[in-house]
Amino acid sequence: MLISKNDKLYIACAGAGKTTKIVKDALEVKDKKILITTFTNENEENIKKKFYEINNGCIPENIKIQSWYEFLLRECFKPYLKTFFNENIRITGFTLVSGVSGQYIPSDGKDHYMSKNNRVYSDKLSKLMFKSTNVKKSVMNRLSKIYNVMFIDEVQDMASWDLELIKEIHYSNIALTMVGDMLQRTYTTTKERQNKKGKNQLNIEEYINDKTKNCSSIIIDPNTLKNTHRCCQKVCNYVNQKFGINIEVCKCCDRKNTENCDVFFINKDEVEEKLKIIKTMQILYDKNSKYDKSYSAINIGKSKGLDFDNVVIYPTKTMTSFLKNGLNLADSSKSKLYVALTRARKNVYIVNN
């Protein structure tokens, strides 16, 4: 086991420059094979755009950028199917699962992991390799031959078997760097628990700090990415007050054009007026949210890693009650609200429902 690699988890706030740090750090690594992976397809594209912006429009040949599910499917699942199921299976892709798939199907059966038309359930992609010690070793040996360095963005979304895989990577000869904002945990890669008696799934920070997981040799850095380059001071003050946190505005940023920016509650008849402002984005709770379809809109989950000059947020009633009256709000909804509030460089408009 190699535990002297200085593998690190950077705890970041919204707008701290997580993607920029990953790209700059990756560009400093020469003559090594690098994998950069992240949870959402949107953030995968965001990372590519950052390379184009910083590195004269190109991504070096030694760097591969891939979504987390695609990485799991290609490197940790497909190569070992025949070992388990003793048949040639042609995988047709994977299906995103919001709950837990295959709950009542034995874990040694093919149908526990994939549908009848051979689409793998997303919450089972990292589980299969842990059904056999030999396969787990084979997976890690293969990964170690393909990559020297690995960066994981949006790591707060990893859970359960994915965290076990991260631990295996940590104990391999692959140098590992992770970045994440624990408050932005709007999705999780899997809701399946390894321990059925466990009440809650651990996030990566909790997992590292849990002495029983034998992963405490990963260094947690809460300081490097604690300042936001995105949000203005008044928006930070509002978010800090509502969520009991302490986001600091980066002193290196020019804030002269944001002095009058703030968080505003608006009525529905005021929405169009705000949307006419250049570079304003509507942020929706989910696909069922009512909004002005004449203007651009994005779901909260897909907005992670993105920023806009101004945002118009359509909150749920419980979110509004939390903001206005301090009433309780479920952790998952609180994370989504935090993401929505921290997308704007300037003004945040919240629509009264």
- Residues 22 and 121 occupy one common structural domain: yes
- Residues 117 and 262 occupy one common structural domain: no
CB 289 within 8 A of CB 312: no
Q: Which residues lie closer than 8 Å to 133 by C-beta, 6 or more apart?
A: none
What digits encode the pLDDT tens for the residues 301-352?
Answer: 889 888 999 999 999 999 999 999 999 999 999 999 999 999 999 999 999 9
CB 263 within 8 A of CB 235: yes
Q: Give percent of the chain above pLDDT 90.
A: 62
Residue 1 included in any domain: no
Query: 10 Å Cβ neighbour count for 205?
Result: 18
- Residues 249 and 198 occupy one common structural domain: no
Last residue of a domain, one of 165, 198, 221: 221
Residue 195 included in any domain: yes
Structural domain that includes position 311: 227-351
Task: Over range 154-171, report the average pLDDT.
Answer: 93
What is the helix (H) or strand (E) element at residue 107, kind and residue range?
none
Residue 48 included in any domain: yes
Residue 33 has pLDDT above 60, yes or no: yes
- Residues 67 and 193 occupy one common structural domain: yes
pTM for the full predicted model? 0.87
- Residues 302 and 209 occupy one common structural domain: no
Residue 303 included in any domain: yes
Phi and psi angles of residue 305, each rounded to the nearest 5 degrees, phi first: 85, -5
Q: How confident is the model at residue 4 (pLDDT cuts 50, 70, 90)?
A: low
Residue 17 included in any domain: yes
- Residues 201 and 231 occupy one common structural domain: no
- Mean pLDDT (the chain) is 89
CB 31 within 8 A of CB 148: no
The C-alpha angle with vertex 45 and arms to 40 and 51, in degrees rounded to 5, equals 130
- Check which CATH number belongs to the domain holding 287 and give it: 3.40.50.300
What digits encode the pLDDT tens for the residues 233-285?
Answer: 999 999 999 999 999 898 776 666 677 799 999 999 999 999 998 889 999 99
- Residues 210 and 287 occupy one common structural domain: no
For the chain, how many structural domains are there in total? 2
CA 335 to chain centre: 12
Q: How confident is the model at residue 190 (pLDDT cuts 50, 70, 90)?
A: low
- Residues 135 and 282 occupy one common structural domain: no
- Residues 191 and 260 occupy one common structural domain: no
Exposure class string for 2-40: b at 16+ Cβ within 10 A, else e: eeebebebbbbbbbbbbbebbbebbeebeeebbbbbbbb
Sequence-ordered strand ranges (E) for 164-276: 175-180, 219-221, 227-228, 248-249, 263-266
What digits encode the pLDDT tens for the residues 93-123?
Answer: 787 877 777 777 877 778 888 888 888 888 8
Cα–Cα distance for residue pair 226/23, rounded to 1 Å: 18
Last residue of a domain, one of 171, 191, 221: 221
pLDDT of residue 153: 95
- Residues 16 and 95 occupy one common structural domain: yes
Last residue of a domain, one of 169, 199, 221: 221
Residue 3 included in any domain: no
- Residues 196 and 327 occupy one common structural domain: no
Residue 336 included in any domain: yes
Task: Over range 145-149, report the average pLDDT.
Answer: 97
Residue 96 included in any domain: yes
Cα–Cα distance for residue pair 13/225, rounded to 1 Å: 7
- Residues 214 and 326 occupy one common structural domain: no
DSSP per residue over 40-101, as a string?
SHHHHHHHHHHHHHHTTT---TTEEEEEHHHHIIIIIIGGGHHHHHSS-----EEE--SS--
